[in-house]
Copies of this chain bind each other. A is one copy, B any other.
Amino acid sequence: MKVGIKDIAARAGVSIATVSHAFRNPGRVSRETREKVLKVARDLGYSPNNLAVSLRTARSGNIVVIIPDVAGSHNSGIIKSIENVAHHRGYSVLLGDTQGSEDREREFAAMTLSRQADGIILMSHRLPFRIDTDHQDFSALPPLVNGCEFTGHEEVPLVTIDDVVAGEDATRHLIEYGHRDIAVITGDMNSPSSQYRLDGFRSMMKEAGLEIRDRQIIFGEYTLEGGEAAARRLLLHKTRPTAIFCFSDEIAIGCMSVLRTSGFQVPDDISVMGFDNIRFARYFNPPLTTISQPTEKIGTLCATLLLDMIDGKPPKTIRHVLPHELLVRESTRRLH
């Protein structure tokens, strides 16, 4: 039933080596034998067993992307562009949705050790290997690029935006709009990018001589529900901010929904600022002011870098900082 290279060889009256060459090394086989082989292959409905090919060539043709949540709007955009370049270069992508679990990060990363994947795109802040025990040094790591997050290892190629500056830009916008009482809703603070954004917020507030009330910094998580919960805590207090800087658009959307049901108008009563510029941001009511991340470029660059590494071309630059952009729409309002 399942036809292999040797069935073709038998039927075409050539050796299996010739069949193999006919496919991968057309130059080493005469035109006519090649055509004969190809025809027989077609007649027999042959399709190569890539497992065997991979075993032999030590190249699986897969890359694995390790990401906390496939369904997040920002993430799925990145995945899509990764898949796109991978496909163009003949690779498939294995999906590693970790839900933030370090165990699962490790499991997925182990697919390179077990030869099921040739490299890793890691959207996490922790390296899924024990450098000290599993690997002697970084050169022994499988091809790996770190996207959007920073593991703390300078040796690992990195694709990201400048979260500190982005945090500053967002805050500056609010300040320029006359806000003095600015709250922030962070995402998971285990992630360095969240810390950087908060650093940016703090430095800009300080620069403007504005006071930061600890109570107005809500440590949340990167979800719609996180935004809701945080907004509720914010509204509870006697004094309320005039603007809220949310560390993701999803947080902002969750937050705005609570504001609305609590009777607040955005931006008339409270300005809300997001982060990411997910697809939905400009469609929201009101359209979301946000920091735009170059989602597609991030995915494309991660994949390109990784595939180059797999091909033996180490990246010229280790640290790739892509430009972000402040997008002022209608969820923030100038005071007075």
Chain A interfacial positions (CB closer than 8 Å to B): 45, 47-52, 54-55, 60-62, 69-71, 73, 76-77, 79-80, 83-84, 87, 92-95, 97, 104, 110-111, 113-116, 133-134, 224, 253-254, 256-257, 260, 279-280, 282-287
Contacts and interface: CB of A to CB of B under 8 A. Distances in A.
B83 A115 contact: no
Given A95-B93, A95-B94, A80 B70 contact: yes
A133 B71 CA distance: 38
Please name the 7 residue pairs, one residue from A and one from B, whose CB atoms are nearest each other, closest first: A50-B114, A47-B113, A285-B285, A71-B76, A257-B283, A71-B80, A76-B76
A7 to B, nearest CB: 15
B114 A45 contact: no
A283 B253 contact: yes
A87 B105 CA distance: 12
A116 B104 contact: no
A85 B87 CA distance: 25
B283 A114 contact: no
A134 B284 contact: no
Contacts of A115: 49-52
Given A71-B76, A73-B73, A49 B45 contact: no
A286 to B, nearest CB: 8
B84 A79 contact: no
A253 B280 contact: yes
B79 A95 contact: yes
A279 B114 contact: no
A51 B47 contact: no
13 contacts: A49-B55, A51-B51, A62-B94, A70-B80, A71-B77, A76-B76, A83-B95, A92-B95, A92-B116, A94-B95, A253-B280, A256-B285, A284-B285
A115 B71 CA distance: 28
Contacts of A97: 80, 83-84, 87
Contacts of A254: 283
Given A95-B94, A114-B47, A257 B285 contact: yes
B279 A260 contact: no
A248 to B, nearest CB: 13
Nearest to A280: B280
Contacts of A93: 94-95
Nearest to A52: B55
Contacts of A279: 71, 224
Given A51-B51, A55-B55, A284-B285, A76 B70 contact: yes
Given A70-B79, A92-B95, 10 more contacts: A50-B116, A51-B51, A51-B55, A61-B116, A71-B73, A71-B76, A95-B95, A253-B283, A257-B282, A285-B286
Contacts of A76: 70-71, 76
A70 B279 CA distance: 13
Contacts of A54: 51
Nearest to A113: B47
